[in-house]
Structure 1
Amino acid sequence: MLGLPKSTEFNKRLPKQKFYENLTITPALKKSFVDDIRMIYWRNKIAASTMNLAAGQIVTEIEVFEICLSTQTVNEAVLRQIDREIPYHILFLLEYASKYQAWIGYKEAITGSNAFKVNCYYHTDWLAEDELLLKAEGLNLDAVYESFVRQLAGDMLEDVEGVQETLQESVQRSERKAKLQKQIESLQAKIRKEKQLNRQMEMNAELKRIKNLLDKMDT
């Protein structure tokens, strides 16, 4: 799947209780850990000490966690909880019925602490092990992390032609696009239900304005 060198292998089983025992979490989240997760393995540690890579300014290690699921649907809050408890960047490999998904969160450092905030997650479809191909590309850990995020995000973080964006800028643009798309879908639903012609015309004008904003973000 990843083609990582043997020097990165860790292969340590992590008790899932570690992520919810003695911590303040909701009963629903605890139930997701108990019911949806069978096992968690810490498969690899990607670091300057384990690969021929330079340290990053932001990323010091990338951990690869394999999570064996009891159900095909994962509660994203579970991944957020694990990300919250581990002060490094994490590439998740979810396994269910011999199929795999890769997930990664876009993490930003919280000023004045060692903690990170996960803004959003990107992931692949369910794939056979030999179909899920990710490459650790880059000369330092910042670049490798960015390559993982962009590989998993695909078209969502595709560069605008002629514009050089940082990863942060690409993620922010993607989030703005997603927000505008939700507004479009909400307005379209309201227009379908609206009986008054003048209100339909007002909402159609607003819909056109938002669609124009969305179109401009790709040019």
Structure 2
Amino acid sequence: MAIELPKSTEFNKKIPKQKFYENLEISPALKKIFIEQVDKILWSYKIASSSTNLADGNLVKEIEVFEVFLKSPNLDNELLRHIDRAVPYHIVFILEYQGRYKACISYKEAAISRNMAFKVNSYYYTDWLDKQDLPLKLEGLNLDAAYENFVRQIAGEILQKMVSDESLKDSVARSEQKELLQKQILALESKIRKEKQLNKQIQINNELKKLKRNLEEL
């Protein structure tokens, strides 16, 4: 699967990094990340009902595709999170480094708090690929469906539906719960290796078995 977006959605507008320094409230540490890790940012596509034959969604009104050209293969998630929180639309990030590309997206939902337009959840990434191999295909009858499909395409097996009618929100919640359990299991496995007392080893092992059962059920 490759990038399959209509010509009508192409935007191709360069966004100077200084725009982010000037218009967003960023810490010195985040500004340092911008300077050291990011070369340039291109606003590549603007997907909306006005540029496609898709209807507006209940939650999604516009999807932006930002290409972020990197100075090194690693990018701090906090930078993407900051952009996601500041931009009042849903975003697909395409990271580029030395001619290889990685698609990245977070499940982004309306925040309960009035202080933020969106709540930004975990990020999902593809592997580093040739650009034509990125899994980015515009599918669905409205922008809600198109956005859900982008998230599922990029996340791959991580967000595979357990049942056919599982919502994206439920898939994301299950994925994040699995990630948390995996971290807890690793921590307990490390703890049991260091523990010298047998009774405590048995206690930790019982906790470990319970967490592994919970993980299998997910």
Normalising by structure 1, we get a TM-score of 0.94
Moved more, 116-125 or 17-26: 17-26
Distance 1:23 1:138, change over 3 A: closer
- Do the aligned residues in 1 keep the contact of 2:3 with 2:132 (CA within 8 Å)? no
Identity of aligned residues (%): 57
Give 1:49's aligned residue. Answer: 50
1:112 Cα deviation after fit: 6.8
Residues 184-212 of structure 1 show CA distances to partners (whole Å, capped at 9, x for unaligned) of 00000000111111110000011001111
* CA deviation map 1:152-176 (0-9, x unaligned): 111111111x463111011011111
In structure 2, how many angstroms separate the alpha carbons of the residues matched to 1:120 and 1:155?
15
Q: Measure how far apart 1:40 and its partner are.
A: 0.6
Deviation readout 1:97-142 (Å, 9 max, x if unpaired): 0000000111010237571110111110111112223211111000
Residue type of the alignment partner of 2:122: C
Separation (CA, whole Å) in 1 of partners of 2:142 and 2:24: 34
Partner of 2:5: 4
Task: Give the ranges of 4+ consecutive aligned residues of structure 1 lying more than 6 Å apart after TM superposition.
Answer: none
Alignment partner of 1:190: what SS? helix
Specify the code of the residue in structure 2 equivalent to 1:125. Answer: D
Deviation at 1:56, TM superposition (A): 0.3
| Structure 2 residue aligned with 1:150 | 152
Aligned position for 2:76: 75
Question: 1:17-36 alignment to 2 at 5 Å?
Answer: 17-21=18-22, 23-36=24-37
How many residues end up aligned between the 2 structures? 216
Deviation at 1:23, TM superposition (A): 4.0
Kindly indicate whether the alpha-carbon contact (under 8 Å) linking 1:19 and 1:85 is maintained by their aligned counterparts in 2. Answer: no
- Tell me if structure 2 keeps the 8 A contact 1:19–1:81: no
Superposed CA RMSD in Å reads: 1.4
Match of 2:117 in 1: 115
**AA in 2 matched with 1:148:** F
- Larger RCO (CA under 8 A, 6+ residues apart): 2
Contact 2:106-2:122 at 8 Å conserved across structures: yes
Greater shift, 92-101 or 18-27, is seen at 18-27
Equivalent in the alignment of 1:127? 129
Q: Does 1:38 align with 2:32?
A: no
